[in-house]
Structure 1
Amino acid sequence: MYDESRDIYDRALSVLPGGVNSAVRAAPQPYPVFAQKGDGGHVIDADGNRYIDWIQGLGPLLYGHDLPDPVTAAVQRRVSEGPVFGMPTELEVEHAEFVTRHVPSVEMLRFVNSGTEATVSAVRLARAVTERNKIVIMQGGYHGAQESTLVEGGPEHPKPSTHGIPQSFAQETIPVPFNDTETAKQVFEEHGDEIAGVLVEPIQANSGIAYPENGYHETLAQLCEDAGALLIWDEVITGFRIGGLGCAQSEFGIDPDITTFGKIIGGGFPVGAIGGKTEYIEQFTPSGEVFQAGTFSGHPAAMAAGLEGLKYAAENDVYEHIDDLGRRLREGLTEILTERAPEYTVVGTGSIFKVAFTRADAPPQSDCCVNGCRQDPECARFSACPKRGTDAQQMETDRYARLFRPAMRDEGVLVSQNQFEANFVSYAHTEEDVERTLDAYRDCL
């Protein structure tokens, strides 16, 4: 059934470390299926097997694998005009103008090539602006493959989370638990005049989808303001997916100093961006003293895909459609878990969803959380819901990876590679896809 994927993987092991170009793609064991092509909300693998695809490129595919005609036409036109110029183009300006019109906190923008590059540049900028070195991050969060955030441990004993990062680098990072206001306040009391910024996701969407408790983001914003630190919102995943064109910050009513983008802002092409207040963003070279550059930054194909994709969303019912399907999935999954696995938890919001394989010794999720865990204190499961990214490490990760996900694949449904990644709804998905997926969950749990 997967013979061609196995043969390709055998070849890949000789020329690619682990047979892949990103570690998460190695799942499931003993070898991954290799994608051949996409078709709307579906993927066909190298053996010709067809799947409902909820991975969606790990989030950037707002429209699935078939871009709307205006987006495809714009990309093809730009590619035909030349791959890259080493010169500015009007298209970069148009895209930046669109973003600044729709995202409340963004007055100026610098395009880069990935979400990782965006967060790297944002951290450098915060340190330069404040003339301080320490960055507060959330335990279990993910901000790309960069030295300042691949750090684990507690506030007083940070350490690198991977080989290759000096301990001296990790000492400038302060990891705190997401949704823990008391620890955040204590860190600012002890290190406030050393903290350049707080780097936080609106929703910890790369670590099992942990939703913020009421007041948490407001507390972080106030701590930053009082200490003269910058609040950096990582909207690489949530940007232009949660909260529509205003992003998650418009939904939560937070006004960050700096925002990082990726994923949808490039319409599925490699891109990232750092946006924020003019007084900060204009400190990038050449207008300021903070070096930042990239040969492929503002690449014409990525700019065309991102801009035309967002314009299409502004003129059509894209967010209504994907959010409605996301709600249907979460509501259906909640009913299934009540019957099949009451210790598990449905999480997510908008067009993001997941079943967290929690080990909750508590009643099933109640009506107030039927559409995904919202950290509602009135819910009987409140104390058992995932509160932070590190909680995903306590879930039944092996059961998910070794039993559940392969079973779903055999049912023709692709879900996230592990308990940390999220699932994403696209505009190409249908109600039939939702019903087939719920049937598969019911059979595989």
Structure 2
Amino acid sequence: MNHDESRSLYDRALSVIPGGVNSSVRATRPYPFFVERGDGAHVVDADGNRYLDYAMGYGPLLYGHDMPDPVRSAVQSHASEGPMYGAPTEVEVEHAEFVARHVPSVEMIRFVNSGTEATVSAVRLARGYTGRDKIVVMQGGYHGAQESTLVEGEPGDVHPSTSGIPESFAEQTIPVPFNDFETINQVFEAHGEDIAAVLTEPILGNNGIVLPVDGYLEHLRDVTEEHGSLLVFDEVITGFRVGGLQCAQGKFGVTPDVTTFGKIIGGGFPVGAVGGKSEILEQFSPSGPVFQSGTFSGHPVTMAAGYEYLKFAAENDVYEHVNRLGEKLRRGITDIVEDQAPSYTVVGTDSMFKTIFTRGGPPDLDGACEAGCEQRPDCPRYEHCPKDASDIADAETERWERIFWQEMKERGIFLTANQFESQFVSYAHTDEDIEETLEAYKEVL
């Protein structure tokens, strides 16, 4: 493939944009390709190269790059009537009503402008509602670029994970390993009266794709209720992608007190949201004492796109299609990995997938999970499959980024550029696309 135009654009970008990109995950080696346009399940770069896209905007593009006609019409209609107003509109009420009808935890919802803004607001809400300061998060979980969750370390030895954040911020955050019952119990025994909330993704989606082991989410629900803390699910990635319109909380049957959203809930436009029980959400200003506001919150174009996005999914076979293709892809990769790289682990559920370059495995794979790790105790891979973020970090992450991603790109397959970010199947993908992708996996692995 020729990449001269992308290389030239990156050279220009380095002069005016820090690192040449506006989001650090786009800084691929040796330089990113620059997208000119999307086309269904594909993107076309500035040099005319065409790629099957499984990044899908890092999650929000449930329909690929071609919006369904009702979504396109709604976006065009609202955009033509004026960009925004600084006043409420009917479509934000309709969108809120739709979400509240379908997501188990949501009685009320406040729309914001990004997943980061949603989790920032949720943390503030939890602290304001409970009158407590400490937040428990999962090691390696990602909740946006916010001071309260950009931390690393163990309980009792926590530090900011980036420069620019005072140590005092980290003092109020307690990171624990995902899927670790013992540590969460110890933390609540030591700090239960001071913990405002446990903030977790129901599935780790920014550190591979790590599903909860049996009973873990239920245990978080129980321990937070016992100590008067809130359970906050970050469904920015999983929301309206895992578990259909009920989201991951519906799939797992665990209802949090508060849920954060992003990505699909805005139909591919910038968005975030905080939903939950009315008695908690009403603590937001102007009805309560927890200040939250935003000029572009509930933006009419975003609200129209998100509302029509979800309506279309409710009225068509969207989830049946994407979940079937997701399973087909994971099954195919699992078969390839068993033959060519048996130490690797295929992960994912519904329309999410990833191959983790884990370093070990059992001598016999008979009876192993067939379409992605299910955290099944009777699976022979159970002791080897990732249980938390540290297991992902211990994988061959450099091989993924330096060799595997590059080779897949040269075969016209656009995957997320590192070992950690999730990948997604869209409504625009076809069975033929899956077969083409599996052939590329065979060649590269």
TM-score band, normalised by shorter chain: over 0.9
Q: 1:25 — aligned with what?
A: 26
AA aligned to 1:224 is T
1:327 matched to 2:327? The reply is yes
How many Å apart are 1:393 and its aligned residue? 1.1
Q: 2:431 — aligned with what?
A: 431
Q: 1:16 — aligned with what?
A: 17
- Whole-angstrom distance in 2 between the partners of 1:349 and 1:367: 18
Q: Which runs of 4+ in 1 moved over 3 A?
A: 363-368
Q: 1:221 — aligned with what?
A: 221
Equivalent pair of 1:366/1:381 in contact (CA under 8 Å) = no
AA aligned to 2:255 is D
Q: 2:402 — aligned with what?
A: 402
1:356 matched to 2:356? The reply is yes
Aligned positions of 1:275-314 closer than 5 A = 275-314=275-314
- Per-residue CA deviation, residues 380-417 of structure 1 (Å, 9 max, x unaligned), is 11111010122221111111111110100000001111
Equivalent pair of 2:59/2:237 in contact (CA under 8 Å) = yes
Mind listing any 5+ residue stretches in structure 2 that lack a counterpart? Answer: none
- Whole-angstrom distance in 1 between the partners of 2:172 and 2:234: 19
1:3 matched to 2:7? The reply is no
How many Å apart are 1:363 and its aligned residue? 3.5
* Sequence identity percentage: 65
- Per-residue CA deviation, residues 314-361 of structure 1 (Å, 9 max, x unaligned), is 000000000000000000000000111001000000000000011014
Equivalent pair of 1:343/1:364 in contact (CA under 8 Å) = no
- Whole-angstrom distance in 1 between the partners of 2:237 and 2:290: 26
- Whole-angstrom distance in 1 between the partners of 2:64 and 2:164: 36
Q: SS where residue 378 of structure 1 aligns?
A: coil
- Whole-angstrom distance in 1 between the partners of 2:220 and 2:283: 24
AA aligned to 1:8 is L
- Whole-angstrom distance in 2 between the partners of 1:138 and 1:91: 35
Q: 2:116 — aligned with what?
A: 116
C-alpha change, 1:288 and 1:68, in structure 2 (3 Å) is same
Aligned positions of 1:177-326 closer than 5 A = 177-326=177-326
AA aligned to 1:438 is L
AA aligned to 1:256 is P
Q: 1:47 — aligned with what?
A: 47
- The TM-score, its normalising length taken from structure 1, stands at 0.99
- Whole-angstrom distance in 2 between the partners of 1:242 and 1:30: 33
AA aligned to 1:48 is G
Equivalent pair of 2:327/2:371 in contact (CA under 8 Å) = yes
AA aligned to 1:223 is V
How many Å apart are 1:362 and its aligned residue? 2.1
CA RMSD of aligned residues (A): 0.8
Q: 1:66 — aligned with what?
A: 66
How many Å apart are 1:249 and its aligned residue? 0.4
Q: SS where residue 348 of structure 2 aligns?
A: strand
- The TM-score, its normalising length taken from structure 2, stands at 0.99
AA aligned to 1:14 is S
- Whole-angstrom distance in 2 between the partners of 1:225 and 1:422: 31
Equivalent pair of 1:334/1:365 in contact (CA under 8 Å) = no
How many Å apart are 1:156 and its aligned residue? 1.1
- Whole-angstrom distance in 2 between the partners of 1:46 and 1:281: 45
Equivalent pair of 1:236/1:261 in contact (CA under 8 Å) = yes
- Whole-angstrom distance in 2 between the partners of 1:365 and 1:138: 30
Q: SS where residue 375 of structure 2 aligns?
A: coil
How many Å apart are 1:100 and its aligned residue? 0.2
Equivalent pair of 2:347/2:372 in contact (CA under 8 Å) = yes
- Whole-angstrom distance in 2 between the partners of 1:224 and 1:272: 25
Q: SS where residue 349 of structure 1 aligns?
A: coil
Equivalent pair of 2:368/2:380 in contact (CA under 8 Å) = no
Equivalent pair of 2:368/2:381 in contact (CA under 8 Å) = no
